[in-house]
Amino acid sequence: MSEAPTNFHGTAIVVGKTGVLIRGRSRSGKSALALSTLRRAELLGLSARLVADDQVLLSLQEGRVLATAPSTIAGRIEISGVGIVTEDWTGTATIGFVVELREPAEFERMPIEERVVILGVALRRIVLPAREAAFGADVLHTLAMR
């Protein structure tokens, strides 16, 4: 059974077959992390695409959380200091885990694996430092390719 999509503030990408929902405060580096991950995938010859930036439509289908972009922003991503640019994108992704960007003082160095419930589905939650896109991109590639 599917439900009407819910609009979430965040960015979504797909790396390989794994959808990643990136959340955080305004200007925490969500778009930068997504772009860094996409560029690294290109260099490594891996598959990765933007799903949505700034607004992500999430829906529940057959027990899975699916992400899509609102039609008005599909294929667009904001680069801070540059503006809105077009990016290769995909229409949908099944979210495999959620990344929350936080200030370093707000998270544990060696956390117990945590979950976050979105639309009734418990998803793995990873907390990464805000505004550290290069490090975060390496972590996302490592997790998505396992």
Give pTM, 2 decimals.
0.89
> What does each C-alpha distance from 99 to 23, 28, 72, 82, 116 come to in angstroms?
6, 12, 24, 24, 10
26-37 per-position pLDDT tens digit: 888 999 999 999
State the first-to-last Cα distance of the chain, in angstroms, to the nearest integer: 29
AA letter at 57:
L
Domain boundaries, the chain: 6-144
The pLDDT value given to residue 145: 66
**3-class DSSP state for residue 124?**
strand
**Residue 50, number of CB atoms within 10 A of its CB:** 25
Average per-residue pLDDT for the chain: 90
The pLDDT value recorded for residue 1 is 47
Q: How many CA within 13 A on the CB side of residue 72?
A: 3
What is the per-residue pLDDT for 3? 64
Does the domain made of 6-144 have the CATH classification 3.40.50.300?
A: yes
